[in-house]
């Protein structure tokens, strides 16, 4: 049985089998070409460069101390307080709790409806 499968494997690369061709006992193992290796190496190098960039701080500690003033913001605490206040207002905003009917939901579809 295995011998027949091996012999026919030379003549017919992709057989019609139920299920997945690339998983299971009789799976087809894809060939790996040099282009695949180059692409994988390029992808790994890009990821390594990204990790290196992200691991280093963008600003030094000395630059970090005065960058808000350089951008025109005089009081960082005031800005953070305004952002937090806005978030709290949005969170505590009363929700619309009335009952919604499908008729109200689809009323925009009845604009051209006319009765004769």
Give dist(CA 95, CA 97) in Å, integer: 6
DSSP-derived letter for residue 93 is: S
Does the structure show a pLDDT above 60 at 116?
no
Query: What is the pLDDT, as a whole number, of residue 18?
Result: 66
62 SS3 class? helix
Q: What is the mean pLDDT of residues 69-80?
A: 71
Query: What is the pLDDT, as a whole number, of residue 94?
Result: 72
Query: What is the pLDDT, as a whole number, of residue 104?
Result: 79
How many angstroms separate the Cα of 46 from the Cα of each of 11, 43, 52?
A: 41, 5, 10
Query: What is the pLDDT, as a whole number, of residue 74?
Result: 67
Give dist(CA 74, CA 79) in Å, integer: 9
Q: Which two tokens stand for residue 66?
A: 């005065």
Buried b (16+ CB within 10 A) or exposed e, 11-47: eeeeeeeeeeeeeeeeeeeeeeeeeeeeeeeeeeeee
């Amino acid at each position: 049985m295995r011998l027949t499968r091996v012999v026919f494997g030379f003549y017919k690369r992709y057989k019609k089998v139920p299920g997945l061709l690339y998983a299971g006992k009789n799976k087809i193992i894809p060939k790996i070409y040099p282009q695949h290796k180059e692409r994988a190496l390029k992808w790994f190098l890009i990821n390594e460069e990204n990790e290196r960039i992200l691991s280093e701080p963008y600003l030094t500690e000395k630059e970090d101390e005065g960058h808000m003033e350089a951008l025109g913001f005089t009081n960082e605490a005031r800005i953070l307080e305004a952002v937090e206040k806005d978030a709290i207002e949005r969170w505590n905003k009363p929700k619309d709790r009335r009952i919604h009917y499908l008729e109200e939901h689809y009323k925009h579809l009845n604009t051209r409806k006319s009765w004769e």
